[in-house]
Amino acid sequence: MEIDKAIRESDDRRLKTKYNNAIYVIRRALALYSIEEVAFSFNGGKDSIVLLHLLRAGYFLHKGEQSCSNGSVSDFPIRTIYFEISSAFPEINSFTYDTATTYGLQMDIIRLDFKTGLEALLKAKPIRAIFLGVRIGDPTAERKFNSLSISWDWFNATFSTFNHHKVSVLIDVWAFILTCKVQYCSLYDQGYTSIGSVHDTVPNALLCISNSSSGEGKFKPAYLLSDGRLERAGRVKKIHSSACGKLPAVNNGLEIVDSHKRSMLTASIIAVGDEILSGTVEDQLGPSLCKKLHSIGWLVTQVAIVRNDIDSVAEEVDRLKSNNDMIFIYGGVGPVHSDVTLAGAAKAFGVRLAPDEEYEEYLRHLIGNQCTSDRNEMAQLPEGISELLHHEKLPVPMIKCQNVFVLSATNVTELDKEWDCFIELARSNGSLVLMEPYASKCLTTKLSDVEAAQVLSKLSLEFPDLYIGCYRKSRHEPIIIRVEGKDGARIESAVNALYKKSRAGAFSEIL
């Protein structure tokens, strides 16, 4: 069974433990009640998708692998209840019916309110136990038929009878979805984090990306929301002004929405090379790439150096790919035994390396008579997730695996050329959002480190949206203070506040 196999092969021990607990609860329910007496409520949301696949896995294991070996993955006899409402998003309805077809769900479609519809169903069907889904903290979380509590972070797979008997376990919703690679409604890739009706649901403003070139708002996918407690910030009452680009404004129920976070795109950089780690080679691409990303308004969250080892590359890519908008990786790309970058990326996404005929043709023209049996190895790319980005100034296309961009540059000159091509392609196809550039001011001080620290600590608390950092070019030179952000007025305010907090002449601007 593909769900059980994906969990078993995962390195996430916590997810495995919670999955096992959930499966135990489901198998217990199936042992206590016949299939005709069990049902679950499906609404097309991410939480009920996790529940569906947990139930599929639990049913498969309950019946036993031997007895289910002749059945298809769509063999799922548990009754499914779907409350269809006129104000539902079309995408939710389409996804629900497509899912029902894919997995052979026996759908009972109810077009009444929840209480009336469920009471009518119980009178007509011999249902004694039901799996439901609500998030912890929802207004309905303590109602009579609450048998499944969900938060963004944790999935509470709960078996319940209508005598209020409950058994609960927890599973990370997005970890489960991404690990098992199950399909989910496309709205979650458009910034929706909690989907209700079309009248009270908008993309979550905390995932908003401001596009400086067009003035329109784009959104990160739901699984990139950093704080799960703010999932319901997309379930709101609409107000009059604009919240992000041309989208309707909302009151997110937050006293302060940190706008500088909403306007950031994040990237991480991975360098692959034992030579860098041993000190044999100095990494120059990492600092250069940081400057390039910074120049287009992106925030670099991490630069990592890993060994020429498939598992090392895979672990780092897997750790970073869900928490960043894009990952740039370089080194370890080529025909020799230590070139393992693409194999590591493939392992991180759970796919195999497979020959790519188009890429192989480019390599054939590039290498010519020098082609060896290694040629095919070089032309193997992560299957199903690789995209070739063509540019006339590059001898071979650039490789993009979902949000992982593989750089072939080996020095700064090659990186400059590859980056220019990348930016040109991104502008033409809209694959990269160019953000508002950072602005900054630099100051120096005559204060001692201790005196400066006290003033700057207070300033950082007053201006949390700005980066306020300190450094020295050498031990005997004065401290340099860098105030950086995307709002020039805020930077100016911070500098003026710094002058007011210290004695005259203590700080001076570096022009």
**Tens digits of per-residue pLDDT, 78-99?**
888 888 888 889 999 999 999 9
Share of the chain above pLDDT 70, in %: 78
State phi, psi for 248 to the nearest 5 degrees: -65, 145
* Total Cβ atoms within 10 A of residue 153: 17
Instruction: Identify the weakest region by mean pLDDT among 116-125, 434-443, 471-480.
Output: 116-125
Q: State which amino acid sits at residue 422.
A: F
Residue 368 has pLDDT above 90, yes or no: no
Question: What pTM was computed for the model?
Answer: 0.51
Residues 2-184, CATH architecture: 3-Layer(aba) Sandwich (3.40)
The two domains 266-429 and 439-510 share their CATH topology (first three levels equal): no
**pLDDT value of residue 161:** 40
The pLDDT, as a whole number, for residue 126 is 80
- Please check the confidence at residue 365 and state whether its pLDDT lies above 90: no
Q: Which CATH class is domain 439-510?
A: alpha beta
Stated as kind and residue range, the H or E segment containing 443 is strand 439-445
- Which residues have a Cβ under 8 Å from the Cβ of 276 and sit 6 or more positions away? 282, 283, 305, 331
266-429: which CATH architecture?
3-Layer(aba) Sandwich (3.40)
CB 393 within 8 Å of CB 363: no
Half-sphere exposure of 291 (CA within 13 A, CB side): 7
pLDDT of residue 493: 93
Q: How confident is the model at residue 153 (pLDDT cuts 50, 70, 90)?
A: very low
Type of residue found at 418:
E
Domain definitions of the chain by residue range: 2-184, 188-262, 266-429, 439-510
Other C-beta atoms lying within 10 Å of the C-beta of residue 220: 22
Work out the average pLDDT over 68-75: 48
